[in-house]
Amino acid sequence: MILNKMSKHITEEVIRDTFKKSTEKQENMETIEIVELDGDDLIQMLMEEFSVEEEIAQAAIMANVGMNDIDELFQWCMDNQLDDNLIEKFCKKYNEAKKMDTEINSKESEESKPTFSQFTRVIVERASRADKTLQKKLKEIWTSFLNSVETAETSDFLNFECLGSGLQRIHDDTATSINRTYPG
């Protein structure tokens, strides 16, 4: 349907060649790997690069679930390092979350890979047990889902970058320029 709006004269062969070129171009491009840091990595960075105590780093991670900006986490540590009650509260939550994560990982290693239904149920149960706002619970569920999808084999998914460059190539090849002189 999108292609019909672009041009009525596009054949299946043109589409196949266009997307083949886009796919080859994608394969030949230098790949930049985006690395997502997990909580343990961030704690390690806070401890090594900023000399933050482990408990404060753990509290920063739990207070800012889903945040990967090390500077923001360090700022939270600086702002809250003297609040022992807050640090203790978030350290306790961190230890509980770590324990649940270990339990989930051990269950996953015992079983074959869980279905999305099973995975969703476990994540929702874990999030509902935590004493958080609805927004933080949803963010935790969404982050867990994205992390699980990122570990899946993605060759069967649609590559939108390839689709976009293919559609642009078709547009560039089939577009006709209309030069008109306007009265006036």
Query: Is the pTM value of this prediction over 0.95?
Result: no
Q: Across all residues in the chain, what is the average pLDDT?
A: 76
Convert the pLDDT of each residue in 36-61 to its tens digit: 677 888 899 999 999 999 999 999 98
Chain segment 81-91, per-residue pLDDT in tens: 999 999 999 99
Direct distance between the N- and C-terminal alpha carbons of the chain, in angstroms, rounded to an integer: 38
Token pair for 129: 């047990």
Could you give the CA distance from residue 48 to residue 37 in angstroms, rounded to a whole number? 15
pLDDT computed for residue 154 by the predictor: 47
